[in-house]
Amino acid sequence: MGGSQLRRSLPIFSIGSVMQLTELSARQIRYYEEHELIFPQRTEGNRRLFSLNDIDRLLEIKELLEQGINLAGIKKLIEVVHQQETQAEVKQEEKAKRDLSEQELRKLLRNELMQAGKHRSSLRQGDMSRFFH
Partner DNA sequence: AAATAAATGTTAGGTTTTCTTACATTATTT
Partner DNA sequence: AAATAATGTAAGAAAACCTAACATTTATTT
Could you list the residues that contact its own copies (CB under 8 A)?
1, 4-5, 7-9, 12-14, 16-17, 20-23, 43, 49, 52-53, 55-57, 59-60, 63-64, 67, 77-78, 81-82, 85, 88, 90, 106, 109-110, 112-114, 116-129, 131-133
Q: Is 102 in the site for DNA (CB under 7 A)?
A: no
The least distance separating DNA from the CB of residue 82, rounded to whole angstroms, comes to 19
Q: What phi and psi, each to the nearest 5 degrees, are found at residue 122?
A: -60, -20
Q: Is 48 helix (H, G, I), strand (E, B) or coil?
A: strand
| Terminal Cα distance for the chain, rounded | 11
Binding mask 50-79 for DNA (x = CB under 7 A): ---------------x----xxx-------
Q: Is 42 helix (H, G, I), strand (E, B) or coil?
A: strand
Question: What is the distance, to the nearest Å, from the Cα of residue 106 to the centroid of all Cα atoms in its chain?
Answer: 16
Among 6, 15, 52, 58, binds DNA (CB under 7 A): 15
131 makes contact, choosing from DNA, its own copies, none, with CB < 5 to 8 Å by partner type, with its own copies
Question: What type of residue is 114?
Answer: M
Which of 18, 17, 56, 61 minimizes the C-alpha distance to 36?
A: 61
